[in-house]
Amino acid sequence: MKNYTVAVLGATGAVGQEMINILQERNFPVGKLVPLASTRSAGETLKFRGEDVTIQLACDEAFEGVDIVLGAAENDIAKQFAPAIVKAGAVFVDNSSAFRMDPDVPLIVPEVNAEDVKGHKGIISNPNCTTIITITAVNALNSIAPIRTMTASSYQAVSGAGAGGPIELMEEVEALRKGETYEPKVFSHQIAYNVIPQIGGEAFEGYTSEEMKMQNEGRKIMHVPELKVSCTCVRVPVVRSHSVSVSCHFDVPVTVEQAREVIAKAPGCKLVDDLAKKEYPMPLDTSGQDIVYVGRIRPDLTDDKGLCLWCCGDQVRKGAATNAIQIAELLIK
């Protein structure tokens, strides 16, 4: 099997580190790893397959000879280096939102639209983490009856805001236990013992940028250009794994039994749905792995052509790092 030179842009961040771990876990054929970061981390080392690898400075010249670049940096960094990556002949699998809605850039969830990879022109985008988890859960339903609208509410873990999110949650809990005050830095309000119903700035008619991603990215991934989604994204005091409550509305009725059958067989999904036994998806169970758990499937009592469900997935792994490496695996096939 051919080995590949793989660069990780933003190698020292939470997603970048997870990408490196998953490359090892999935035994991706890496002949040479090129971790890239800012001047703050360049020159340091990290472990890959038991050996020390030196972190290099992210610059245009760093992409020469690279086959695949896994992007784990912010939008501005992705936009800055994308031309150099493409010019060097590498394929850029980018986790930022910089290129997601570009019509020339495939937006991929491998379990849903793997064939779209073939249309890339040097850049492939990883969708938003909540979108990946939700679309993985509902795509099997869309295959038996096209989804015309969805109503969704996400319950997003603090680690979705970066490494500082869990630290702030824990420090707030400790400060409150001691009767001390704590000034939030990562979140706009106290997150301990609270929920914050805003992620992102206002984008459209009172919906935030995070909320609009479910509709806009979902349309592109599932090839349903008329899909309409009303979404509310909420930050909750959970460390890891996002949860989403979804109501899907179809042109024809879909029974609960049909839904359970297709979701149980759907790639990337695990059916966990037994209310009597108190078995349903939960963040604690889905953290640290790559499967989206789906349960609480039931009729939508407001629409005889609708179904409700609940899903959970690890937003750092399947919602970001693992999905990107699955895309890279499609490329080398």
Does this model's pTM top 0.75? My answer is yes
pLDDT band at 1 (very low <50, low <70, confident <90, very high): confident
Looking at domain 131-315, does it have CATH number 3.30.70.100?
no
Dihedral of the alpha carbons of 169, 174, 175, 179, in degrees to the nearest 10: 130
Whether 131-315 and 4-127+320-332 are alike in CATH topology: the answer is no
Q: Report d(CA 301, CA 304) in Å as an integer.
A: 7
Dihedral of the alpha carbons of 296, 299, 300, 306, in degrees to the nearest 10: 110
Percent of the chain that is helix, strand, coil (3-state, to 5): 35, 25, 35
**Domain parsing of the chain, residue ranges:** 4-127+320-332, 131-315
Let me know: does 106 contact 125? Beta carbons within 8 Å. Answer: yes
Listed residue (214, 218, 220) closest to 199, CA to CA: 214
Q: Which two tokens stand for residue 67?
A: 């086959």
Q: Report d(CA 189, CA 232) in Å as an integer.
A: 17
Let me know: does 263 contact 136? Beta carbons within 8 Å. Answer: no
Residue 30 has pLDDT above 80, yes or no: yes
**pLDDT score of 333:** 87
**pLDDT score of 216:** 97
Let me know: does 68 contact 328? Beta carbons within 8 Å. Answer: yes
Tokens 């779209």, located at residue: 116
User: Could you confirm whether 312 is annotated as catalytic?
Assistant: no
Q: Tell me the per-residue pLDDT of 116-164, one tens digit each, with 9 for 90 and over.
A: 999 999 999 999 999 999 999 999 999 999 999 999 999 999 999 998 9
Let me know: does 84 contact 64? Beta carbons within 8 Å. Answer: no
Residue 85 has pLDDT above 80, yes or no: yes
Residues contacting residue 189 through CB under 8 Å, at least 6 positions apart: 196
Q: Tell me the per-residue pLDDT of 165-217, one tens digit each, with 9 for 90 and over.
A: 999 999 999 999 999 999 999 999 999 999 999 999 999 999 999 999 999 99
Listed residue (114, 147, 115) closest to 259, CA to CA: 147
CA triple 328-331-332, angle to 5 deg? 95
**pLDDT score of 32:** 98
Q: Which DSSP letter does residue 291 get?
A: P
Which residues are 250's β-sheet partners?
147
Residue 239 has pLDDT above 80, yes or no: yes
Q: Report d(CA 59, CA 194) in Å as an integer.
A: 41
Buried b (16+ CB within 10 A) or exposed e, 187-221: beebbbeeebebbeeeeeeebbbbbbbbbbbbbbb
Instruction: Report, as an integer, the average pLDDT of 298-303.
Output: 98
CATH code that applies to domain 4-127+320-332: 3.40.50.720
Q: Tell me the per-residue pLDDT of 221-236, one tens digit each, with 9 for 90 and over.
A: 999 999 999 999 999 9
User: Could you confirm whether 242 is annotated as catalytic?
Assistant: yes
Residue 26 has pLDDT above 90, yes or no: yes
> Pick the catalytic residue: 120, 231, 233, 242?
242
129-144 and 256-265 are packed helices; what angle lies between their axes, rounded to 10 degrees?
A: 120
Residue 313 has pLDDT above 80, yes or no: yes
Let me know: does 310 contact 244? Beta carbons within 8 Å. Answer: yes
Q: Which two tokens stand for residue 129?
A: 């983490």
Let me know: does 24 contact 6? Beta carbons within 8 Å. Answer: no
> Pick the catalytic residue: 129, 231, 233, 312?
129
